[in-house]
Structure 1
Amino acid sequence: MALWIQAQQLQGDALHQMQSLYGQHFPIEVRHYLAQWLEAQPWDAIDLENQQDEFKAKRLLDGLIQELQRKAEHQMGEDGFLLKIKLGHYATQLKSSYDPCPLELVRCVKHILYTEQRLVQEASNASSPGSGPVDGTPQRYQQINQTFEELRVMTHDTENDLRKLQHSQEYFIIQYQESLRIQAQLSSLASIPPAERVQRESGLQSRKSTLEAWLTREANTLQKYRQELAEKHQRTLALLRKQQTVIVDDELIQWKRRQQLTGNGGPSEGGLDILQAWCEKLADMIWQNRQQIRRVEHLTQQLPIPGPTEELLTELNATVTDIISALVTSTFIIEKQPPQVLKTQTKFSATVRLLVGGKLNVHMNPPQVKATIVSEQQAKALLKNENTRNESSGEILNNNCVMEYHQTTGTLSAHFRTMMNTS
């Protein structure tokens, strides 16, 4: 079944998310009337980071415009006349928007198609839990990778919006300084002859009124830009948290279960390098959004405008801090488990690894890791975040180790080579 047909059957929040993909940048009518053509084009064959692919993107843009014009020409009747005008308008609008940067059209359409595919897949899995992809299959990995692509596009979109906001705010400040200069000139007119003062005052007052009206409108526009950007960051962080749940609470937990089976004679668990790659992508996306939110904060402090944005930014900061904290905590794992039965006076080894250590530059100031023996009761308390830091159920020799960063593999780990249980 065509993707667009399935997307139109979405309900509730999923339908709202799908509808929010569209706007002046890409009208939903274009998606509807060119659904078959859009889904048949090789969007994935274009590398958005390669400027040499701009020619391919230009051909797709030209093809889209031609399809819209062709669709408009074939409309008949009274309703067809109105649709003909609307589709013709969209053709002109899209050409004007994307002709200078056709790669942005590709980015936009890829984001739309990836998001629709994810929403349809999630709706399908929710309605038929038993028909979803089997854990560990390429189809499951493909869904994770598609979500990463969607996050990358969303993060790029907010970066562009942030730059536009910054440029608009810088121009606003320049104009505000101009209004202060005019006010200073008006204040200095008292020292000149009355006849000349009246003439100059009239011109300055006119300029002042025009500029103040513009500043009022632009202040409202800036506040609107800030609000829209904050809402976009909210959606990005929500999807980041969802992706993190899939990777950390599903994929990583499954890896740990396979590791337990390996300790009982099962097959090798494998897949840790893929998990690290995903966790590093998560860390990278989270960090980029965190930096963007910080920059928006700086802009609001530089030019305070009353409104709900400050409260939203506080919430965003708390959310992104919570996400990155959970990621670091969850991705500190025991890569190589010690023997399940620790005999006294017998050497054993173990390896711990931080899957996001390289991305977060933890290796620049490598932490020290200490291994201790805890009871089952203490382990359960640790899982509940209860404080058992100073408690132990046994003594281990050589149980301190500094984590090392391995450049060739990009891993940050600590290898306890010669530990010994003395209790």
Structure 2
Amino acid sequence: MAMWIQAQQLQGEALHQMQALYGQHFPIEVRHYLAQWIESQLWDSVELDNPAEEAKAKRLLENLVSELQRKAQLQGGEDGFLLKIKLGHYANQLKSTYDRCPLELVRCIKHILHSEQRLVQESTNASCGSGGQAMDTLSQRHQQINQAFEELRLATQETENELRKLQHSQEYFIIQYQENLRLQAQLSSLASLPAAERTQRETTLQSKRATVEAWLTREASTLQKYRLDLSEQHQKTLALLRKQQTLILDEELIQWKRRQQLAGNGGPHEGGLDVLQSWCEKLADLIWQNRQQIRRCEHLTQQLPLPGPMEELLSKLNADITDIISALVTSTFIIEKQPPQVLKTQTKFAATVRLLVGGKLNVHMNPPQVKAVIVSEQQAKALLKNESTHSESSGEILNNNCVMEYHQATSTLSAHFRNMSLKRIKRSDRRGAESVTEEKFTVLFESQFSVGGNELVFHVKTLSLPVVVIVHGSQDNNATATVLWDNAFAEPGRVPFIVPDKVLWPQLCEALDMKYKAEMHSGRGLSEDNLVFLAQKAFTSSSNNSEDYRNMTISWAQFNRESLPGRNFTFWQWFDGVVELMKKHLKPHWNDGAILGFVNKQQAQDMLMSKPNGTFLLRFSDSEIGGITIAWVAENPNKQGERLVWNLLPYTTKDFSIRSLADRISDLNHLLFLYPDRPKDEVFAKYYTPPLSKAVDGYVKPQIKQVVPEFTTPNPEPSGATPTFMDQTASPSVSHPNNFGVYPSMSDTMLDADGDFDLEDTMDVARHVEELLRRPMANQWSSQQS
């Protein structure tokens, strides 16, 4: 309800825009009386392009109708009688309107709420500015655009007034011209009259005719001047229109597209499209008004030809304004929802295209059809250079035709491709070391429609962001690298799809941080120390000074083509493995600050050796993709008085799908404090799995539990006690007397002297579980009892 209270405080143009959001599709009274309920619903959780969400939208509609009916029943007394009838009518009206298309109701309300929020925000920014505080750049830009629209509105109104004056003057001129022709006809008819009468009448008529001709001569010059002045005013208006259009299309729309591209790397969602549409619609309205004025001028000129350059001037004005409206229409055919940039064949995907001026130009009166085809980088270049008018395809997309639909509630004309699928792809010859996951394609959307009763016909095209086509999930990692590099470093107006081969390290840091924050869904991104660690990995350097890396450049090859020294994976593959691990299993712990992560083995040792025994930290594995290890400081069991830092065998996604990190840390009693000095239960207890329930129907539920043999002390249970869990031990050399040894023996040298594990001497945890599940429980009980 807070938003509605603020919306009611709007004034002037903002208030008018807010009122225009409502109508028969959604009455403003419904918004007013159900304000709190409306603002408490999760409208944004409904995916409008997903038909499966219709059931959720249906429930929202039913709840809305129920709330209206309940509100109506609460109205009492004489004053409430009319309101009771009105709210009941609105309940029936909304049910009737949206019962067959509940997603349209959600679309309508989302549009209203987002528009109100924008208007309130703009109003707040403007009031701060008037109070002497500096307005932010966005508000200043919006104010500049709105002021220009006001100038254009006044200029268009002025030329309209002048055009009417010209039309009235010309009509009067034509009447006088007809009078002159009548006088001339009368003079011609005097020949049949007697001489005396003829002379008298001839003198009178000639005098009148001379007066009319003199007026016509003067008025013809005046009309010519009016026409020239009006054409000059139109030229000035067109210059203002072109300037405003350049600002909106070449700056605001390009910036929106850039934000949309960065959103592919996890940047902020590209909002503001409704604002852009409102500007483009105002432009379309003003351009069309001026075009109609110019055409009326042409008609007046043809109706009354006068000597002078008017025909050429009007012809040029007509051509100029047609160019302006053509640029507006073709530039505002945009992709609202991009297809996935990593596109797997035989997999369903969606996209949405939108014509921002479609509603204003009534394009929906004859809804156009949009076609989608996939084209290669070379084909995209040819299209942009106008070297190819025929849309050749580099593959076959199923369900690639869609009709544009007009949504009255939001005044949007768009085509929603919901079930496209790439059936096949035709690849080009690759160059040098380029792999299939570095090859870029794009989805081309094209349509044709007319405006003004077939007066103007437009063939519009727009290209999606670059997509990388894969055929198997194993290619996703490298394809994502290509997309991230392109999204981060593509320049506006580039030739498709050129990106720099090298970038400054801080530029890449910004892209990696954006990606990491987005995947973690929190504001905790990569710290300066984290970025230094990544620089050390990327450049195989040991410098700890961030300044040393600021002017260094990193190439695409260093990023994701060449393997890191001594490894069989690239820098990006390692980083992406970390992101995937964190996203799937460790996000809460990162957001809690429990994971240092970007720390190498030597740094961990230096940090822990100054801390009490049992202090541990979590760091990402250097040697394994998507691995995280626990490093801790403890006494050397083999040498009294000596302290060592130990590193546990790295855990991966597979391990955490069996037992969570928090439970594993809970299992290891020798881990006491999370670095620097936080008791581990204080940090991880809220994530521990609750204790298992008691035996049911005579069966005892097994529990997997982790043990590091070198740091396990026996914990015997009372005689005759029933075992309650099964140890998942790293080695059977230390075991609990009354528990089950369910795994075959392993070498006791899992931990080497430096705290590292020998990967070849360990057994995969998942294989342990498989063996556990395959063994008959009865046999194990009997073997232990014997």
Instruction: Using structure 2 for the length normalisation, give the TM-score.
Output: 0.37
Residue matched to 2:81: none
The answer to whether structure 1 residue 337 and structure 2 residue 374 are counterparts is: no
The answer to whether structure 1 residue 417 and structure 2 residue 418 are counterparts is: yes
CA 1:234–1:188 in structure 2 vs 1: closer, same or farther (change >3 Å)?
Answer: same
Q: Aligned letter for 2:387? A: E
Q: Aligned letter for 1:165? A: L
Q: Distance in 1 between matches of 2:389 and 2:264?
A: 26
Q: Distance in 2 between matches of 1:215 and 1:151?
A: 35
Aligned residues: 295
- Bigger Cα Rg: 2
- 1:258-337 matches, within 5 Å, as 258-337=259-338
Q: Aligned letter for 1:389? A: H
Q: Distance in 2 between matches of 1:389 and 1:367?
A: 19
Deviation string for 1:272-294 (max 9, x for gaps)? 00000000000000000000000
SS of structure 2 residue aligned to 1:266: coil
How far apart are residue 342 of structure 1 and its match? 1.0
Residue matched to 1:151: 152
How far apart are residue 215 of structure 1 and its match? 0.4
Deviation string for 1:74-119 (max 9, x for gaps)? xxxxxxxxxxxxxxxxxxxxxxxxxxxxxxxxxxxxxxxxxxxxxx
Q: Aligned letter for 2:165? A: K
Deviation string for 1:363-411 (max 9, x for gaps)? 0111110001111222233233332533111110000000000000000
Q: Aligned letter for 1:283? A: A
- 1:2-41 matches, within 5 Å, as none
SS of structure 2 residue aligned to 1:265: coil
Q: Distance in 2 between matches of 1:230 and 1:338?
A: 46
Residue matched to 2:214: 213
Identity %: 79
SS of structure 2 residue aligned to 1:306: coil
Residue matched to 1:394: 395
- 1:60-139 matches, within 5 Å, as 137-139=138-140
Q: Distance in 1 between matches of 2:411 and 2:391?
A: 32
How far apart are residue 267 of structure 1 and its match? 1.3
Q: Distance in 1 between matches of 2:139 and 2:176?
A: 55
Q: Distance in 1 between matches of 2:290 and 2:203?
A: 49
Residue matched to 1:348: 349
SS of structure 1 residue aligned to 2:393: coil
Deviation string for 1:156-205 (max 9, x for gaps)? 00000000000000000000000111111111111111111111111001
Q: Aligned letter for 2:421? A: M
SS of structure 1 residue aligned to 2:346: coil
Residue matched to 2:719: none
Q: Distance in 1 between matches of 2:247 and 2:222?
A: 38
Deviation string for 1:218-238 (max 9, x for gaps)? 000000000000010000001
Deviation string for 1:122-179 (max 9, x for gaps)? xxxxxxxxxx9975x1011000000000000000000000000000000000000001
Task: Structure 1 unaligned segments of length 5 or more: list them.
Answer: 1-43, 50-131
Q: Distance in 2 between matches of 1:326 and 1:308?
A: 27
Q: Distance in 1 between matches of 2:237 and 2:356?
A: 22
SS of structure 2 residue aligned to 1:342: strand
Q: Aligned letter for 2:184? A: Q
Residue matched to 1:191: 192
Residue matched to 1:201: 202
Q: Distance in 1 between matches of 2:285 and 2:393?
A: 36
Residue matched to 2:363: 362
Deviation string for 1:232-260 (max 9, x for gaps)? 00000011011000000100000001001
Deviation string for 1:31-51 (max 9, x for gaps)? xxxxxxxxxxxxx989xx9xx
Contact 1:262 1:268 in 2 (8 A): yes
Residue matched to 2:168: 167
Q: Aligned letter for 1:267? A: P
CA 1:380–1:367 in structure 2 vs 1: closer, same or farther (change >3 Å)?
Answer: same
Contact 1:280 1:356 in 2 (8 A): yes
Contact 1:133 1:140 in 2 (8 A): no
Q: Distance in 1 between matches of 2:419 and 2:135?
A: 43
SS of structure 2 residue aligned to 1:151: helix
Deviation string for 1:309-347 (max 9, x for gaps)? 111001000000000000000000000001001101100
Greater per-residue strand proportion: 2
SS of structure 2 residue aligned to 1:401: strand
Q: Distance in 1 between matches of 2:357 and 2:155?
A: 22
Q: Distance in 1 between matches of 2:309 and 2:170?
A: 18
Q: Distance in 2 between matches of 1:257 and 1:290?
A: 32
Q: Distance in 1 between matches of 2:389 and 2:182?
A: 64
SS of structure 2 residue aligned to 1:373: strand
Q: Aligned letter for 1:206? A: S
Q: Distance in 2 between matches of 1:145 and 1:286?
A: 16
Q: Distance in 2 between matches of 1:265 and 1:216?
A: 71
CA 1:45–1:141 in structure 2 vs 1: closer, same or farther (change >3 Å)?
Answer: closer
Higher RCO (CA < 8 A, seq sep 6+): 1
Q: Distance in 2 between matches of 1:380 and 1:244?
A: 25
Q: Distance in 1 between matches of 2:210 and 2:156?
A: 39
Q: Distance in 2 between matches of 1:386 and 1:235?
A: 35
Q: Aligned letter for 1:188? A: S
Residue matched to 2:495: none
Q: Aligned letter for 2:161? A: N
Residue matched to 1:94: none
Q: Aligned letter for 1:211? A: V
Judge which range, 207-216 or 370-379, deviates more. Answer: 370-379
Judge which range, 386-395 or 267-276, deviates more. Answer: 386-395
SS of structure 2 residue aligned to 1:372: strand
SS of structure 2 residue aligned to 1:338: coil
Q: Distance in 2 between matches of 1:220 and 1:207?
A: 20
Q: Distance in 1 between matches of 2:224 and 2:296?
A: 15
Judge which range, 264-273 or 158-167, deviates more. Answer: 264-273
Q: Aligned letter for 2:229? A: E
Report the RMSD for the aligned CA atoms in angstroms.
1.8
SS of structure 2 residue aligned to 1:408: coil
Residue matched to 1:121: none
Contact 1:378 1:388 in 2 (8 A): no
Q: Aligned letter for 2:213? A: E
The answer to whether structure 1 residue 226 and structure 2 residue 227 are counterparts is: yes
Q: Aligned letter for 2:397? A: I
Q: Distance in 1 between matches of 2:146 and 2:378?
A: 39
Q: Aligned letter for 2:187? A: L
